[in-house]
Amino acid sequence: MWLDHPNFEKAIEKWWYIDIKGIAMYRMAKYLRYIKVNIKKWNKEVFGDLFAAKSKTQLELEEMQDKIQTSGYNEVSINEENEVLVKYHKIIKREEEFWKQRSRSLWLKVGGRNTRFFHMTAMKHKATNKISKLRIGGIETRKDDEIGNEAKNFFISLLSTDCGFDVYSQRALLETIHLIINDVQNKALVAIPSEDKVKKAVFSFDCNKALGPDGFLLFFF
């Protein structure tokens, strides 16, 4: 829904071209963090509370239709009703996109205001993915911070465990493995990919998949 706003891309350009020093990955992380903070502020200022806006517009529409029932149709009332209807349909479209992203449903791409379906799917994802309790050192806990820390520590330990081989042992082990990749293939595998290949890989993913560690959907990129 942000892309429908005429000033969104200009706002992104303004936030992106700030002066940040450091290596490329550090600057990238800082840019994204800075943009994320500003997008939240911008979204609140421009779009406001989506669900409050929907309720307010529904009330406006009901009042308008009551007025028409009492006074009858005329050119002024028709124009006023159309303005409210246009605003209401825009909000409904934004609501559908909101729940569609939350539900991460892949089979329904466009159309059909299935906000109830998207809402139920999002709630199901949340319930399925949530670890409500965990046994740590023989003691069961339901505290989110303790569960989160245990999960983080588990993977840090798993992914940083030393295999126990010294350099010579590793080399001796590798020498026993039959080579199936030639030098040309190896150079292709370890070569730095071109910008076109990176772009093709990123754009091949579904844009509404789960958030990355930076909190952005692929759709943003």
- Mean pLDDT per 10-residue interval, the chain, length 221 residues: 70 84 86 85 73 78 77 74 79 70 50 55 61 84 85 79 68 83 90 90 77 72 78
Give residue 64's pLDDT.
78
Q: Is residue 209 part of a domain?
A: no
Give residue 216's pLDDT.
77
Residue range(s) defining the domain that contains residue 158: 132-192
Q: Is residue 221 part of a domain?
A: no
Q: Is residue 167 part of a domain?
A: yes
Give residue 116's pLDDT.
60
Give residue 107's pLDDT.
43
Q: Is residue 103 part of a domain?
A: no
Q: Is residue 71 part of a domain?
A: no
Check: CB of residue 98 under 8 Å from CB of residue 121.
Answer: no
Q: Is residue 17 part of a domain?
A: no
Q: Is residue 141 part of a domain?
A: yes
- Burial of 118: CB neighbours in 10 Å, binned 0-12, 13-18, 19+: buried
Number of separate domains in the chain? 1
Q: Which residue has the tokens 């779009």?
A: 47
Q: Is residue 63 part of a domain?
A: no
Check: CB of residue 113 under 8 Å from CB of residue 96.
Answer: yes
Give residue 205's pLDDT.
82
Check: CB of residue 201 under 8 Å from CB of residue 218.
Answer: no
